[in-house]
Copies of this chain bind each other. A is one copy, B any other.
């Protein structure tokens, strides 16, 4: 029995477009002799549809679309399509009105409907908001082969692997009791660093433990802040990896289930694709896909960003060029009287390396206009944060002016370390439709840039960057000069922050690991520094609440999965603080 995995890149809510992609993949799979087609979780509407699910007409259209593609799928191919079903008993018996479902379609008909059993409701996931969990094992027969079916989270409850149980039920244990031949999983599992390795190790463990092959189909492509990395794969009952689809690109994977030996055998590709060779390589692909898909799915073909001559905007410019093509990226240089000469030359060198266009718009004239406008009300005050922010907001206004005028996507360039401690200006450098590196800590920004330059040195120019690229992408001076916002003379970031390696370590402990100040201090960090950072993280919440969507690459991003009150007093230090604007 040939099984095909359609690793698709749906656009949320594009029911017609997503259906068409499923039908095309099915035809391709049928041409290659496939008997069973897997698509990702909720493949008909894309994942996550979020509050679109609250519209009855959306649910009705989904249902209509499912019936329509049932007619369009090739005969002889059984297809598993992710969709949403109504929970008809909800109003009588209680419970949520929908199920997160999979339809088994064959020969023009919906043969069977299955409901996801374990509903993730943590981090970016809100499935309990919409869905009732299915309460029975999902399995079916195809040509007398007994196949178990699971949806994404259904397989993320192996307490042996995790050292803890997440849900009372464990669907694959139930399927093992039913002695299915193998189990398929339809997923929409978002990327974070090293996630593919975790998925494979987990399912290799689960396949061995429950003595059954597993075929895992993942979504690919970015939807707002979430990047889905694909990497669909299959493992045999001995835990061996059978096959793996591409990461970060759509793919069609073909596997044979050999009924005699009860094993999966790779077909196309004949051996697993190679994983990205480092965290940097992986993150690069993720961010490029994230920018490309956000732009495309929102209808933008061109992007604009501010080029400060600093490392953050340098990295984002490189990502944007790789995502959209260098011709479609415009960098704006906006020097002020406080800008150093090298901020201009470094930015121009970068743009030259990438082959992107630039425009220079000095801001001194606008700064002077604001100085005059505010002279009366600011009488007797000293130059301070207010004036620094005005510079940043002038730049943000110029960038939005260009974006609005020409229909470009403004990509903001702030990194996670800045977003964490609030070293960014709301309505200034935070402006943009998408924050490309908002989940990338500053130390990782450096390593990504170094990796990029290393790639070029080795002659491995990343996809879509100009082949004429020089001996480096990121000019060396950008990598070696001390980071500075250049909002007052001689300013550098380290005037008021610890070195970035220390800062990022403290932030990872505070933000990602939920450690208390005492725990961090016990790990060897300075008490005053830890308390200062904890306080800065807390009082910057109002800025993050108004930030652009940021591409998620860690397990704890400041995005849809970060839900922190603003008007609150608690600090992990035990201090009570009164925030300032």
Contact = CB atoms under 8 A, between A and B. Distances in A.
Contacts of A126: 121, 126, 129, 563
Given A50-B563, A363-B373, A409-B581, A568 B94 contact: no
Given A377-B359, A377-B402, A581-B433, A565 B55 contact: no
A390 interface: yes
Interface string A349-386: 00000000001011101101110111011100100111
Contacts of A409: 581
Interface string A541-578: 01001111100000000001011111111101010101
Contacts of A378: 401, 405
Interface string A407-419: 1111000000000
A12 B570 contact: yes
Interface in A215-264: 222-224
A299 B427 contact: no
With most chain B CB atoms within 10 A of its CB, the pick from A16, A359, A567 is A567
A114 interface: no
A13 B565 contact: yes
Interface stretch (A164-172, A308-316, A447-455, A460-468): A164-172
Interface stretch (A24-32, A391-399, A477-485): A391-399
Contacts of A51: 562-564
A405 B384 contact: yes
Nearest to A365: B369
A390 B401 contact: yes
A168 B93 contact: yes
A569 B65 CA distance: 15
Contacts of A581: 300, 403-404, 407-410, 433
A501 interface: no
Interface string A472-507: 000000000000000000000000000000000000
A280 to B, nearest CB: 26
- Copies of this protein in the complex: 2
A160 interface: no
Contact of A373 (B157, B166, B381, B398): B398
B129 A569 contact: no
B514 A56 contact: yes
A410 B365 CA distance: 26
Contacts of A580: 299, 407
Interface string A51-83: 110111110010000000000000000000000
Nearest to A389: B404
B427 A400 contact: yes
A532 B514 CA distance: 46
A450 to B, nearest CB: 31
B405 A381 contact: yes
A387 B564 CA distance: 35
A182 interface: no
A297 interface: yes
A45 B293 CA distance: 41
A568 B294 CA distance: 10
Interface residues of A, number: 117
Contacts of A386: 401-402, 404-405
Contacts of A167: 94-95
A453 B61 CA distance: 48
B385 A404 contact: yes
A162 B302 CA distance: 51
B13 A569 contact: yes
A427 B567 contact: no
Interface in A429-453: 431, 433
A547 B549 contact: no
A327 interface: no
Considering residues A91, A377, A519, which has the most beta carbons from chain B within 10 angstroms of its beta carbon? A377
A373 B394 CA distance: 11
Interface string A83-103: 000000011111100000000
Contacts of A381: 405
Given A52-B564, A126-B129, A359-B377, 18 more contacts: A11-B567, A11-B568, A49-B565, A51-B564, A54-B514, A57-B514, A57-B518, A93-B168, A94-B166, A126-B126, A128-B128, A224-B566, A297-B568, A298-B542, A299-B578, A362-B373, A400-B427, A546-B546
30 contacts: A12-B565, A12-B570, A13-B568, A14-B576, A16-B576, A52-B565, A56-B514, A57-B515, A57-B518, A58-B572, A61-B574, A94-B166, A95-B167, A121-B121, A121-B128, A121-B129, A122-B129, A223-B567, A223-B568, A361-B376, A366-B366, A373-B398, A374-B402, A381-B405, A386-B401, A389-B400, A393-B396, A393-B397, A396-B427, A546-B546
Per CB-CB distance, the 7 closest pairs between chain A and chain B, nearest first, are: A13-B570, A299-B578, A57-B516, A297-B567, A12-B568, A386-B404, A14-B569
